[in-house]
Amino acid sequence: MPIDYQKLQKVLVESELLTKDQLNMAQEKSHSTNLPLEKILSEYEFLSGEHLGQVIADIFEVPFVNLKKKSIEDGVLRIIPELVAKKQNIISFDRDQGGIKVAMFDPGDEEIIQFIQKKTGEQVVRYFAMSNDISEALAHYNRGLKEEFDDIIKQNIEAARQKTGEDLELP
């Protein structure tokens, strides 16, 4: 279940995090730019991304995670295949005896939770994370791939250096 924007707006005004005027300005900007309200609220600094993320996590009744403050191990990252992670806006960021900790923009997505549980045989602990934080964290997949290619290139260079001129096949 995606973010309930009416509930979010109500919480922001009732908790006095935003005035009605600020909320109206943000809504107008959201409509005129065709960007989601949460993106407008954080980018135009009505609220910090972390503060807004905590509010949204409270609405979903799950913990909030700031992925910018997390170091994600490659093995944990790759629990969820890259294509699935990017399509579903989800990333695994930790694993412990309680299960796999997964940051999601839509923690109500039961289908993806069941997929991960079936694939791993482990429990999934849901966390809410801001969409842009998940996107930035997903760049770790590319960094891992780049490192693998760098290692392959280094190995090939070293193997070529070890061969003598006679061993090398020249055209």
Question: How far is the C-alpha of 121 from the C-alpha of 110, rounded, in Å?
Answer: 16
Q: What pLDDT is attached to residue 168?
A: 54
Amino acid identity, position 46: F
pLDDT in tens, 68-88: 999 888 889 999 998 999 999
Q: Could you tell me the pLDDT band of residue 91, with boundaries at 50, 70 and 90? A: very high
Q: What pLDDT is attached to residue 164?
A: 54
Bigger pLDDT: 67 or 159?
67
Query: What does the pLDDT average to over 10-35?
Result: 92
Counted residue by residue, the chain has a size of 171
Query: What does the pLDDT average to over 12-41?
Result: 91
**Mean residue pLDDT across the chain:** 87
**Look-up: residue for tokens 């969409």?**
131
Q: What pLDDT is attached to residue 139?
A: 84
Q: Could you tell me the pLDDT band of residue 143, with boundaries at 50, 70 and 90? A: low
Beta strand pairing call for 99-104 and 90-96: antiparallel
* Tokens (6 digits) for 50: 């972390």
**Residue among 16, 17, 46 nearest 30 (CA):** 46
Q: How many CB atoms lie within 10 A of CB 49?
A: 20
Question: How far is the C-alpha of 57 from the C-alpha of 83, rounded, in Å?
Answer: 25
**Look-up: residue for tokens 């791993």?**
120
Task: List the helix and strand counts (H, then E) for the chain.
Answer: 8, 3
Q: What pLDDT is attached to residue 159?
A: 73
